[in-house]
């Protein structure tokens, strides 16, 4: 495994981040979620291959992703050897203050996440989206207090507009509070809108980029037209990648052609493309089969030539922004 510093921090993370959204307790919303016994071999394989970076969120499978993740990593390694990331923002209970980035929500949710994870601190505490109803200063001050209390080592953000991210960083810098060190946003060969504003901002400020859906929700792992259980049942997935006006078909075809020419899987090549984008620290890889983990591990050692990158990028056409 290769390791990198997360952005301009001193934190060392594997170049693959193990995404834990697939694990927890099955619900109607996520029928593809896997329970702890099915999850364990995948966490173990990831850890044994050198992946030290695990990403979950309070909302994933209603907190049960954190429970599964916390229980398994405890079996795998001493806490200090693991880099554990979680998130706050989504709705955890009905009613007022049950979601969002108010001071009251953040202070409640960090303690709930630590309890479910069975740890005293997370390494990276991320805001899961922008909260239009809470002033940036309130959110950033609360996150600073979480860091000063020792409950999080670093803070990060995820999909939002670049101007909103810049606004939050400005609030922190002006007040001497902890600033975000990472951006978890959507980036893949079939979704490259972040190249316009967010990636240049992150490169300018030394923010580590942790792309989600690096394989386009699975579309980049198989020839055009094949389906899976998740692609046909996950409503969020369907809403994001089914734009009929897109040129995704041509992108997938280019990837399939390169896969045949090199004898390397489409998934590995698509991941290798994300890995080489300047500013990217570690793509978030979700897995529901051991083979997914193997592909991700192998992709770190796949190098694309300039001509190959050009061929994979050429068919892309600008899209409407999705995912937040």
If residue 182 lies in a helix (H) or strand (E), which one and from where to where?
A: strand 180-184
List the one residue from 167, 233, 264, 309 that touches other proteins (CB under 8 A).
167
List the one residue from 5, 74, 103, 319 that touches other proteins (CB under 8 A).
319
Report which of 63, 46, 77, 59 is spatially closest to residue 293, judged by C-alpha positions: 46
Rule CB under 8 A: say whether 320 interacts with other proteins. yes
Please, are residues 214 and 283 in contact by the beta-carbon 8 Å criterion?
yes
Q: Smallest distance from the beta carbon of 282 to other proteins, in angstroms?
A: 22
d(CA 44, CA 38): 11
List the one residue from 104, 163, 223, 257 that touches other proteins (CB under 8 A).
163
Q: Which is nearer to other proteins, 10 or 320 (CB)?
A: 320
Angle at 178 between CA 132 and CA 200, to 5 degrees: 70
Q: Which is nearer to other proteins, 104 or 321 (CB)?
A: 321
Bridge partners (DSSP) of residue 54 are 18, 84
Rule CB under 8 A: say whether 165 interacts with other proteins. yes
Which part of the chain contacts other proteins (CB under 8 A), choosing from 25-33, 39-47, 158-166, 220-228? Answer: 158-166
Strands (E), 12-121: 12-14, 17-19, 53-55, 83-88
Which part of the chain contacts other proteins (CB under 8 A), choosing from 150-158, 179-187, 270-278, 316-324? Answer: 316-324
Give the sign of the dihedral formed by CA 271, CA 272, CA 277, CA 278.
positive
Helix, strand, or coil (residue 113): helix
List the one residue from 27, 91, 149, 161 that touches other proteins (CB under 8 A).
161
List the one residue from 137, 170, 250, 298 that touches other proteins (CB under 8 A).
170
Binding mask 177-196 for other proteins (x = CB under 8 A): -------------------x
Rule CB under 8 A: say whether 198 interacts with other proteins. yes
Rule CB under 8 A: say whether 200 interacts with other proteins. yes
Length of the chain counted residue by residue: 324
Q: Which is nearer to other proteins, 185 or 294 (CB)?
A: 185
Rule CB under 8 A: say whether 166 interacts with other proteins. yes
d(CA 150, CA 131): 24
Report which of 318, 300, 316 is spatially closest to residue 3, judged by C-alpha positions: 300
Q: Smallest distance from the beta carbon of 162 to other proteins, in angstroms?
A: 4
Which part of the chain contacts other proteins (CB under 8 A), choosing from 31-39, 78-86, 161-169, 222-230? Answer: 161-169
Q: Residue 247 phi/psi, 5° resolution?
A: -105, 25
Q: How far is CA 154 from CA 32, 94, 147, 195, in A?
A: 31, 29, 7, 25
d(CA 185, CA 13): 17
Angle at 185 between CA 278 and CA 266, to 5 degrees: 70
d(CA 293, CA 16): 10
Rule CB under 8 A: say whether 245 interacts with other proteins. yes
Give catalytic residue positions. Answer: 60
Q: Smallest distance from the beta carbon of 183 to other proteins, in angstroms?
A: 11
Rule CB under 8 A: say whether 5 interacts with other proteins. no
Count residues near other proteins (CB under 8 A).
Answer: 22
Q: Residues in the site for other proteins, rule: CB under 8 A? A: 161-163, 165-167, 169-170, 173-174, 196-198, 200-201, 204, 245, 317-321
């Amino acid at each position: 495994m290769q390791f990198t510093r997360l952005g301009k921090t001193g934190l060392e993370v594997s170049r693959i981040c193990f995404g834990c959204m697939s694990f927890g307790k099955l619900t109607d919303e996520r029928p593809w979620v896997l329970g702890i016994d099915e999850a364990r071999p995948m966490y173990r394989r990831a850890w044994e291959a050198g992946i030290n970076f695990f990403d979950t969120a309070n909302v994933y499978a209603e907190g049960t992703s954190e429970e599964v993740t916390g229980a398994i990593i405890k079996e795998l390694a001493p806490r200090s050897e693991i880099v554990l990331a979680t998130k706050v923002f989504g709705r955890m209970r009905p009613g007022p203050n049950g979601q969002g980035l108010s001071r009251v929500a953040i202070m409640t949710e960090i303690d709930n996440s630590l309890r479910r994870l069975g740890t005293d601190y997370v390494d990276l505490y991320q805001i899961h989206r922008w909260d239009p109803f809470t002033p940036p200063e309130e959110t950033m001050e609360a996150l600073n207090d979480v860091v000063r209390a020792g409950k999080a080592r670093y803070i990060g953000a995820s999909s939002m507009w670049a101007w909103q991210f810049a606004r939050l960083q400005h609030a922190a810098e002006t007040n001497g509070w902890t600033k975000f060190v990472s951006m978890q946003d959507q980036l893949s060969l079939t979704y490259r809108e972040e190249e316009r504003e967010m990636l240049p901002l992150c490169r300018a400020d030394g923010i580590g980029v942790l792309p989600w859906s690096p394989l386009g929700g699975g579309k980049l792992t198989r020839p055009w037209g094949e389906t899976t259980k998740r692609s046909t049942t996950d409503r969020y997935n369907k809403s994001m990648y089914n734009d009929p006006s897109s040129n995704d078909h041509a992108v997938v075809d280019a990837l399939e052609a390169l896969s045949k020419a090199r004898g390397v899987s489409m998934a590995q090549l698509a991941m290798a493309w994300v890995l080489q984008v300047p500013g990217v620290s570690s793509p978030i890889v979700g897995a529901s089969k051991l083979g997914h983990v193997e592909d991700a591990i192998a992709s770190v050692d796949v190098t694309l030539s300039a001509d190959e990158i050009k061929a994979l990028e050429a068919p892309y056409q600008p899209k409407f922004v999705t995912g937040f």
